[in-house]
């Protein structure tokens, strides 16, 4: 059989070049932190960042090796009139790279447990400040239990935002008399805070980048999350769960303040009730 | 049918007339092409919707002549989000790789005259087409298309108009379309499974099936199990919407200031049912592409697939494990955190068969004699995207890291690369590869390569920056960037991605031109233009109505016998009997 014409080298060269460029551009963009996440403000968020970085190094190494390996293969083994090497495979190699992948990926999953378990499996400290977060289309409402430390009863049939009762507080429950209901979240620095997430209508989400925390608020459920912020400042709260036409405008502020400012915030609010 | 009667089968005549042949045809090849052109129409609409979204993200205040009111509203944007996702996932990524190419080539590759149930096959297509037309109708009903995304989470999707525009008739039509689609897919998958098990030619053992057949077979099993669950979930959603039930709706709902009388349901139930379908769906989209890529890499490397058995087993392993990982979509849903950990370990484990596939693709290229034809370029592109998208998934598989990246553009970049683009590259590879067989003509190589270079670069330019937007906290499904102050800083990246999207979409016109021009003017193709080994290449291009003109093949060897030492040529067709094999000193004969 007549030998077929050799392939041109332009295709393989260009492909190898593009794959190399892909690797260089990706490595540069990640290494240069062109669009970084903001600095974390809790020790748990630091754990998340650490796990993120570890994953970045491991997957980054595999990414570089695999893409450059592909680039090398297309260049090195392009049709230059040679004979292809006949092989059906290699069991030892299969076992080697399967075990390497098991070790790497499952190992990563087990290491990643820490950052997750720290927040999810341990209850908040007993002196944690409880704040209830209620979501509805397209508003966050925050409730503090007030001086008595108890939340008043809610009744969904009493919900009436225009009349000043967005949560449906039961006026007959004495525990609810001193509840503070506000549109932004104010917490003291370096104090554990437990949020109780609820929703009145559809699924919403509570996301603060600096906490590295997203949590859905699901109607019919009360979902607890806790954190201890260690940086005074204002941070943006946004909704990441598609909730309707106002989804992208659902917004509030997390205000981390000094203990003194927190107490005066509570006093001011209590006086206004 | 016994082996003897198969072999003596008389050639079957094609039905006469356009209607009987092309509209109510039961020939699997005709039905495959019907699915193909349906997917081609769907992908065109899907791309146009995505361009409108990309345009709106960068120029939100621009006047658009075809938008009611001139300026796109948030609900119109969310309708685009919903319909783009739905059309692409169901009518392109499920339809083209499995229903189109599977229908056309599975029977031929196993040496069968047709599918096991040809009329059922026709019904599957007509159900799918009905579902597609229903889905498009959602655009023109009062209130417009639904705004709850392709995932349609209740309560948003379960409440009706009160939850928002498009949630009335639009959402109802959406659910009904999905139910019809489920029926079509279930019937189709039964057909694929029966055909693979029952209709193989003599000698076509499981371990001699091309990897494409393995992939379609495993995908059909996934479809059967996954679409059944979506069908059940969809019926419950219809009941919640129209019969006053509360499967997904809990007590105490207050929507738009109005207390509702529902009670006892769970929004998380839908998420579990949906993702029990939704994650296998990812594999339904990508497994056929994996099969096609293995097939093409072997053909154009002139080597057997490296580790054929491992590749077939990895397909089965991915299929099986695909049913155990749905919870990784729900790490932030309020699901028990302990199950989050279990789903994380299972999800990371699915990286193992995926890595086996990647290593074996590299192993197939290694030591080969690589011919850079258009199908091969797209197959290599698939490998690159699969690596990139697979690795970015490792971040999302860990619940702690996911709490930071969930629902950001990072996720959008990840799944578009691994499920969208990789699968589409599989479709392109299959189209360039099998075009000569399907239409008896070749596509233009120069245009094919140009299409590849522009698309390969363009797609990376669209979807890689999304990862950076996501790490910085850019949130998906946002109609504008004014909701939070930090989003404005990400606009330059969005502009770049929008330009890349328009250029890449324009490059697809090259494909359309090449495709439709080659249908009529392409160079005539021989029976086996790529010197390939599998059974679709032993019959004429295009194949006769009964696929083999009455001469049904027997199979004597494994599917990828390229460059066998001592053989007279560098490919040995599967039907080449050992006694017909010329000795090395004989003149080679045409296979």
Asked if A85's CB is within 8 angstroms of B479's CB, the reply is no
B270 occurs within a structural domain? no
B106 occurs within a structural domain? yes
Chain A positions in Cβ-Cβ contact with residue B336 (cut-off 8 Å): none
B267 occurs within a structural domain? no
Q: Which contiguous run of DSSP H or E holds residue B402?
A: helix B399-405
State how far the Cα of B303 lies from the Cα of B561, in Å rounded to an integer: 7
Q: What tens-digit pLDDT sequence spans chain B (591 residues)?
A: 444 444 445 556 667 777 777 778 899 999 999 999 999 999 999 999 999 999 999 999 988 887 777 899 999 999 999 999 999 999 999 999 999 999 999 999 999 999 999 999 999 999 999 999 999 999 999 999 999 999 999 999 999 999 999 999 999 999 999 999 999 999 999 999 999 999 999 999 999 999 999 999 999 999 999 999 999 999 999 999 999 999 999 999 999 999 999 999 999 999 999 999 999 999 999 999 999 999 999 999 999 999 999 999 999 999 999 999 999 999 999 999 889 999 999 999 999 999 999 999 999 999 999 999 999 999 999 999 999 999 999 999 999 999 999 999 999 999 999 999 999 999 999 999 999 999 999 999 999 999 999 999 999 999 999 999 999 999 999 998 998 999 999 999 999 999 999 999 999 999 999 999 999 999 999 999 999 999 999 999 999 999 999 899 999 999 999 999 989 899 999 999 988 887 655 554 444
Q: Which contiguous run of DSSP H or E holds residue A49?
A: helix A43-76
Q: What is the model's pTM?
A: 0.95
Question: Are B400 and B532 found together in one domain?
Answer: no
Number of domains in chain B: 3
Final residue before a domain boundary, out of B500, B519, B538: B519
The tokens describing A114, both together, are 């820490």
Min Cα separation A147/chain B (Å): 27
CATH number for the domain spanning B461: value is: 1.20.210.10
User: How many C-beta neighbours within 10 Å does residue B463 have?
Assistant: 26
B258 occurs within a structural domain? no
Residue B378 · residue B335 · CB < 8 Å: no
| Closest by Cβ to A79, choosing from B252, B369, B401 | B369
pLDDT band at A116 (very low <50, low <70, confident <90, very high): confident
Closest CA to B268 of B374, B372, B153, B188: B153
Q: What is the value of ipTM here, to two decimals? A: 0.95
What are the residues facing A180 on neighbouring strands?
A144
The tokens describing A49, both together, are 């960042």
Question: Are B406 and B541 found together in one domain?
Answer: no
Helical axes B308-321 vs B351-365, angle rounded to 10°: 150
Residue A131 · residue B227 · CB < 8 Å: no
B255 occurs within a structural domain? no
Question: Are B508 and B545 found together in one domain?
Answer: no
Question: Are B84 and B198 found together in one domain?
Answer: yes
Question: Among all residues of chain A, which has the CA nearest to that of B461?
Answer: A22
Residue A4 reports pLDDT greater than 60: no
The pLDDT assigned to A1 comes to: 37
Final residue before a domain boundary, out of B519, B537, B555: B519
What are the residues facing A181 on neighbouring strands?
A143
B262 occurs within a structural domain? no
Question: Are B428 and B365 found together in one domain?
Answer: yes
The tokens describing B146, both together, are 């639904």
Closest CA to B445 of B352, B522, B531: B522
Asked if B489's CB is within 8 angstroms of A112's CB, the reply is no
The pLDDT assigned to A112 comes to: 83
The pLDDT assigned to B457 comes to: 98
Biggest CA-to-CA distance, chain A:
97
Q: Among A3, A153, A240, A254, pick the best mutation site for testing chain B contact (most B Cβ within 10 A).
A: A240
Asked if A161's CB is within 8 angstroms of B345's CB, the reply is no
State how far the Cα of A42 lies from the Cα of A256, in Å rounded to an integer: 12
Question: Are B219 and B341 found together in one domain?
Answer: no
Span A72-77, average pLDDT: 96
Please tell me whether the peptide bond between B155 and the residue prior to it is cis, using omega within 30 degrees of 0: yes
Residue A266 reports pLDDT greater than 50: yes
Question: Are B544 and B460 found together in one domain?
Answer: no
Which residues constitute the domain of residue B198? 28-249
Question: Are B430 and B576 found together in one domain?
Answer: no
Asked if A84's CB is within 8 angstroms of B369's CB, the reply is yes
Residue corresponding to tokens 């041109």 = A8
Question: Are B168 and B284 found together in one domain?
Answer: no
Q: Rounded to the nearest 5°, which phi and psi values hold at B292? A: -60, -40
The pLDDT assigned to A117 comes to: 82
B10 occurs within a structural domain? no
Question: Are B69 and B213 found together in one domain?
Answer: yes
B439 occurs within a structural domain? yes
Final residue before a domain boundary, out of B519, B544, B564: B519
Total count of residues recorded for chain B: 591
Question: Are B442 and B576 found together in one domain?
Answer: no
Residue B353 · residue B319 · CB < 8 Å: no
Residue corresponding to tokens 């080539």 = B105
Asked if A243's CB is within 8 angstroms of B391's CB, the reply is no
Q: How far apart are the first and last CA of chain A?
A: 95
Sign of the four-CA dihedral B96, B97, B99, B104 = positive
Question: Are B447 and B548 found together in one domain?
Answer: no
Q: What is the DSSP string of B71-134?
A: S--HHHHHHHHHHHHHIIIIIIIIIIIIIIHHHHHHHHHTT-SS-S-HHHHHHHHHHHHHHHHH
The tokens describing B40, both together, are 């081609």
Closest CA to B390 of A63, A51, A104, A99: A63
% pLDDT > 70, chain A = 97
| Closest by Cβ to A70, choosing from B81, B355, B383 | B383
């Amino acid at each position: 059989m007549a030998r077929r014409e050799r392939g041109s080298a332009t295709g393989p060269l260009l492909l190898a070049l593009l794959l190399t460029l892909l690797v260089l551009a990706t490595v540069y963009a990640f290494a240069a932190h062109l669009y970084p996440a903001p600095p974390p403000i809790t020790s748990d968020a630091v754990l998340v960042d650490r796990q993120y970085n570890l994953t970045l190094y491991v997957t980054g190494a595999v990414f570089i090796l695999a893409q450059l390996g592909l680039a090398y293969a297309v260049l090195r083994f392009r049709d230059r009139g040679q004979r292809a090497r006949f092989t059906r495979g290699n069991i030892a190699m299969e076992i080697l790279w399967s075990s390497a992948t098991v070790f790497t990926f499952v190992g990563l999953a087990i290491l990643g447990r820490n950052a997750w378990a720290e927040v999810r499996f341990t209850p908040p400290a007993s002196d944690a400040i409880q704040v209830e977060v209620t979501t509805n289309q397209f508003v966050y409402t925050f409730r503090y239990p007030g001086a008595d430390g108890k939340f008043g009863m809610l009744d969904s049939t009493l919900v009436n935002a225009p009349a000043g009762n967005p949560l449906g507080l039961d006026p007959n429950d004495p525990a609810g008399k001193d509840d503070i209901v506000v549109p932004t979240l104010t917490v003291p620095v370096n104090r554990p805070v437990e949020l109780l997430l609820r929703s009145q209508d559809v699924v919403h989400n509570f996301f603060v980048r600096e906490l590295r925390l997203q949590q859905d608020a699901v109607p019919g459920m009360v979902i607890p999350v806790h954190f201890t912020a260690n940086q005074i400042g204002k941070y943006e709260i946004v909704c990441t769960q598609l909730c309707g036409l106002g989804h992208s405008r659902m917004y509030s502020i997390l205000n981390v303040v000094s203990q003194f400012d927190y107490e005066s915030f509570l006093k001011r609010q209590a006086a206004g009730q | 049918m016994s082996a003897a009667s198969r072999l003596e089968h008389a050639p079957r005549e094609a039905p006469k007339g356009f209607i009987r042949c092309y509209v109510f045809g039961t020939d699997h090849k005709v039905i495959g092409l019907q699915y193909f052109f349906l997917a081609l129409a769907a992908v065109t609409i899907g791309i146009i919707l995505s361009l409108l979204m990309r345009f709106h993200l960068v120029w939100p205040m621009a006047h658009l002549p075809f938008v009611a009111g001139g300026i796109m509203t948030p609900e119109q944007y969310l309708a685009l989000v919903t319909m783009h996702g739905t059309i692409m996932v169901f009518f392109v990524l499920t339809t083209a790789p499995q229903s189109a190419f599977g229908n056309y080539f599975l029977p031929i590759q196993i040496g069968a005259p047709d599918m096991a149930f040809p009329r059922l096959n026709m019904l599957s297509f007509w159900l799918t087409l009905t579902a597609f037309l229903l889905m498009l109708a959602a655009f023109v009903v009062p209130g417009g298309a639904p705004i709850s995304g392709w995932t349609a989470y209740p309560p948003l999707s379960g409440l009706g108009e009160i939850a928002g525009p498009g949630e009335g008739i639009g959402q109802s039509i959406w659910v009904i379309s999905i139910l019809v689609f489920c029926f079509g897919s279930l019937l189709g998958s039964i057909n694929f499974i029966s055909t693979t098990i029952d209709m193989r030619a003599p000698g076509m053992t499981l371990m001699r099936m091309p990897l494409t057949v393995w992939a379609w077979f495993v995908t059909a099993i996934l479809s059967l199990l996954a679409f059944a669950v979506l069908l059940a979930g969809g019926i419950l959603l219809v009941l919640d919407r129209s019969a006053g039930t509360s499967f997904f709706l809990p007590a105490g709902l207050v929507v738009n200031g109005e207390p509702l009388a529902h009670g006892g349901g769970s929004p998380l139930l839908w998420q579990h049912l949906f993702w029990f379908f939704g994650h296998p769906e990812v594999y339904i989209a990508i497994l056929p592409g994996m099969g096609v890529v293995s097939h093409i890499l072997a053909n154009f490397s002139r080597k057997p697939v490296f580790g054929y058995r491992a590749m077939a087993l990895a397909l089965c392993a991915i299929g099986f494990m695909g049913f155990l990982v749905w919870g990784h979509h729900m790490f932030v849903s309020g699901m028990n955190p302990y199950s989050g950990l279990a789903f994380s370990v299972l999800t990371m484990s699915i990286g193992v068969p995926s890595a086996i596939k990647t290593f074996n693709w590299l192993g197939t290229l290694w030591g080969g004699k690589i011919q850079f034809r258009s199908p091969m370029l797209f197959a290599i592109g698939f490998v690159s995207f699969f690596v990139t998208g697979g690795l970015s998934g490792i971040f999302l598989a860990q619940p702690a890291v996911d709490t930071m990246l969930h629902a950001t553009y990072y996720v959008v970049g990840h799944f578009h690369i691994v499920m969208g683009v990789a699968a589409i590259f599989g479709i392109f590879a299959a189209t360039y590869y099998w075009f000569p067989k399907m239409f008896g003509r070749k596509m233009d190589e120069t245009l094919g390569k140009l299409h590849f270079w522009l698309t390969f670069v363009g797609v990376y330019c669209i979807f890689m920056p999304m990862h950076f937007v996501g790490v910085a906290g850019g949130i998906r499904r946002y109609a504008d960037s004014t909701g939070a102050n930090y989003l404005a800083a990400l606009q330059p990246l969005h502009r770049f991605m929008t330009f890349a999207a328009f250029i890449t979409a324009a490059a697809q016109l090259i494909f359309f031109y090449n495709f439709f021009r080659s249908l009529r003017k392409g160079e005539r193709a021989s029976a086996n233009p790529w010197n390939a080994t599998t059974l679709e290449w032993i019959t004429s291009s295009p194949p006769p109505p009964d696929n083999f003109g009455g001469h049904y093949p027997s199979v004597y060897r494994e599917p990828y016998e390229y460059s066998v030492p001592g053989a007279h040529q560098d490919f040995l067709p599967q039907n080449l009997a050992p006694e017909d094999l010329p000795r090395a000193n004989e003149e080679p004969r045409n296979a």
